[in-house]
Amino acid sequence: MLSAARTPVIISSRRYFLHARSFHQRRIEGTTLFPIQLQQAGVSPSGPVLIRSFQQCRRQSSSHEPNRQIPPLPPSKLLLRALRQGLSFRPLFSAFRGQSLRTLFRQSPEELVIAILLLCGVAGISVYVAYAYFNYFQSKQFTRFPPQIAKSLRRALYYSNYAPDPELALKYYKRALEQCSQAGLDPFSDEVMGVKIQLAAWFEKIGSYRNAINVLESLARDCKKWVEVMEKSVRDGQVDKSGKLVGSPSPQPPTQEDAEAETDTKPENLWGKRTRILGKLVGISVKLGELYSDEHVLQGDSAGQHLVWAVETVLKELQRRQVEGVKEGEGDWMTPEQIGGALEALGNHYESKSQHYLSAPLFLQAVSLSPRNSCHTAVLMNNLAISLAQQPIDTPTNTKQASQGSESNVTARPTRSTLLASARAWAQQAQETAQKVQGEDRTEECDEACAVALCNLGDIAAMTGDTEEARRKFEESLSLSKRIAFDPGVAQAQEGLQRLSKATPNRST
């Protein structure tokens, strides 16, 4: 029988022996040492002997190279091993299994719930980041480019929006445009022009307004030159009715496979390309007008030239289509909202120069083209009310004609009371329109339009001499502006109230 003093030695040697067997089984596989030793270790105190035998075996196997050192692993393998151990989720999963999870919950239920919530939050954020990455950088705006161009554009946008670095962003924008030229892409395609427009928008974002203007001016010149050459070819009879150059080879009839794979879009002819480029050109001209009018540039004459050209081009194209009809493959012209945007931009330009008699007709046309129940329509109505209320009564031409006794022109000119009545009607309609918009169509622009309409009604009431009405409208505008945190409305309403407090009790005529 084993003594109590030797029992711990036997148990310890048994555990070590079993472990050594599982670790070095391949080295001594095929011998009968392990089964015999395993039986002896369970029934007799020969455990220490067996351990000595096994240890002697290890010394014998390594005695050939007593000073041998294990060579260190290369850095790449060390890094790979560290990543495997750091990214191993086996301990985390084992902690949330059956008995372990119940034990953790009994020990600290609050900490366990918080840990689970944190893990769910981290998992949700990871999924969202992956979705946002693939949804943006793998979207159609990149995949329609060749791989190398798409790679440059991804890097350009990355250094533009996510890790701002102007030098690297400009470098990759230029590289993308060079690659587009080397790949033979059409410089007037939506893809290539879109890259240039994006570059101009990035310049504007970082405050480089002059570079943004230069990019858009260059693009506008190229587009105008293409349109002029195309129109000259039409006048010279080099373009047939189908919108193709005379003498160009006709396309081969599509096979059955091509017909099945063909999409609903038809190939673009010269008339369709002209419509697309001309529409882009109008938008570029409007944007140039806004940039030239910016407080950092302040070139009003250049802004007016571009805006006038844009509006004239829109109206001329509409007139041409009404007279000549729509050509084959020409497609639709600009939408009413786009046409209204060009008219509104020119109206804002005239209003900034206090030429309200020129801005009022433009705002009126823009209102007629805008959807009836929209927040922006209310803004246009407010602008129209301001232009009507601030129009001068007598122009130099009318004054001269009135002195000569020309009564017809004088009566055709609206009076002050008529203009103020029209302005009040448009301001009230702006307020009603902004209040009617509900649901997803309602934005902050509606609340701001309501505040501006109330302030305009106060100004018009003050012009007519109705001080009480003016004070009430200013106070309503001030209350609404404070509630929606509309600082310009607060300042305008307070200024109106101050004017009323300083005004004389006599009515102004």
Calpha distance 285→473 (Å, rounded): 39
Whole-number pLDDT of residue 295: 87
Weakest mean pLDDT among 49-63, 132-146, 325-339, 352-366: 49-63
Q: pLDDT for 94-106, tens place per residue?
A: 555 555 666 766 6
Has residue 342 been placed in a domain? no
Q: Which residue, among 119, 86, 83, 88, has the nearest Cα to 101 in the 3D structure? A: 119
Q: What's the domain count of the chain? A: 2
Cβ atoms of 246 and 237 within 8 Å: the answer is: yes
**Mean of the per-residue pLDDT values for the chain?**
75
Residue 173 pLDDT more than 70?
Answer: yes
User: Which DSSP state fits 45?
Assistant: S
Residue 137 pLDDT more than 90?
Answer: no
Calpha distance 394→266 (Å, rounded): 56
Has residue 381 been placed in a domain? yes
Residue 134 pLDDT more than 50?
Answer: yes
Higher confidence at residue 127 or residue 423? 423
pLDDT-derived band at 329, boundaries 50, 70, 90: confident
Both tokens of 55, joined, read 């240890």
Cα-Cα end-to-end distance for the chain: 128
Whole-number pLDDT of residue 284: 94
Residue 184 pLDDT more than 60?
Answer: yes
Calpha distance 476→472 (Å, rounded): 6
Q: Is the dihedral of CA 322, 325, 330, 332 positive or negative?
A: positive
Has residue 336 been placed in a domain? no
Has residue 282 been placed in a domain? no
Whole-number pLDDT of residue 7: 42
SS3 (DSSP) at 74: coil
Higher confidence at residue 32 or residue 160? 160
CATH number of residue 381's parent domain:
1.25.40.10
Whole-number pLDDT of residue 382: 92
| Overall average pLDDT of the 352-365 stretch | 90
Q: Which residue, among 352, 382, 364, has the nearest Cα to 445 in the 3D structure? A: 382
Q: pLDDT for 416-428, tens place per residue?
A: 888 899 999 999 9
Higher confidence at residue 137 or residue 122? 122
Calpha distance 323→38 (Å, rounded): 106
Q: pLDDT for 195-213, tens place per residue?
A: 999 999 999 999 999 999 9
Q: pLDDT for 241-278, tens place per residue?
A: 777 777 665 555 545 544 444 444 567 888 889 999 99
Cβ atoms of 179 and 137 within 8 Å: the answer is: no
Has residue 227 been placed in a domain? no
Q: pLDDT for 44-74, tens place per residue?
A: 444 444 444 444 444 444 444 555 555 655 5
Has residue 236 been placed in a domain? no
Q: Vertex 54, ends 51 and 57: CA angle to 5°?
A: 150
Residue 81 pLDDT more than 90?
Answer: no
What radius of gyration do the chain's Cα atoms show? 40
Whole-number pLDDT of residue 292: 93
Has residue 12 been placed in a domain? yes
Q: Which amino acid is it at 73? A: L
| Overall average pLDDT of the 11-22 stretch | 42
Q: Which residue, among 271, 263, 302, has the nearest Cα to 285 in the 3D structure? A: 302
| Overall average pLDDT of the 336-355 stretch | 90
Has residue 426 been placed in a domain? yes
Residue 401 pLDDT more than 60?
Answer: no
Higher confidence at residue 35 or residue 154? 154
Whole-number pLDDT of residue 145: 74
SS3 (DSSP) at 383: helix
User: Domain range spanning residue 360?
Assistant: 355-395+414-509
pTM equals 0.66
